[in-house]
Amino acid sequence: MSTITRLRACALALSLVSVSPLALAAGDHGHGHGAGPDIGTPGDAAAVTRTITVTMRDNLFEPEALDIREGETVRFLITKRGAFVHEFNIGTAAMHAAHQQEMQGMMESGVLEPDRINHEKMGHGAHGMKHDDANSVLLEPGQSGEVIWTFPEHATLEFACNVPGHYESGMMGGIRLSH
């Protein structure tokens, strides 16, 4: 068995560990990605005060945590390295938990595969979410993306990959907001 075949089999097995009725029913993508004053708002490129480069590897982020000033608008340049699809998503722990169920539905319906996004199925059917929210980017191996985000005051936030099994394996990091 080739290395890629083994990686795909491991990722699929990991993704099927936590199938639940809620995951099967998930279809409204807004629960896991919704922007609002509690997590911040989409940023204006003209207001960016700095750029942070984030690398997603199989199953970790570099850097592992972020220090952001309250009210700051940050451009995140995200690069995907490694063999699997990963997501960079800014939110609360509760938002990530809800979004993980939606991502499980994407995996089960064939929209999301361990190493690629099936774009033909994206946007169709119950789990065909478009994954185009301002606080998130979903990338295949070798891809890059950008998130521009204005952070709120007094929030408890984290960034995470919500592809099934990834958050649970430690692919998340804290966002420390300061004055």
176: three-class secondary structure by DSSP = strand
Closest C-alpha among 15, 27, 16 to residue 105: 27
How many other CB atoms sit within 10 Å of the CB of residue 118?
13
**What pLDDT score does 45 carry?**
97
Domain count, the chain: 1
- Give pTM, 2 decimals: 0.78
Cα separation, 173 vs 123, whole angstroms:
29
Quote the mean pLDDT of the chain: 81
Share of the chain above pLDDT 90, in %: 69
Mean pLDDT of 59-85: 97
Query: The domain that contains 131 carries what CATH number?
Result: 2.60.40.420
Model confidence over 10-33: pLDDT tens digits?
Answer: 443 343 333 332 222 223 333 345
- In sign, the C-alpha dihedral spanning 66, 69, 70, 75 is negative
Model confidence over 94-149: pLDDT tens digits?
Answer: 999 999 999 999 999 999 999 999 988 876 554 445 566 899 999 999 999 999 99
Domain residues for the domain of 26 are 3-178
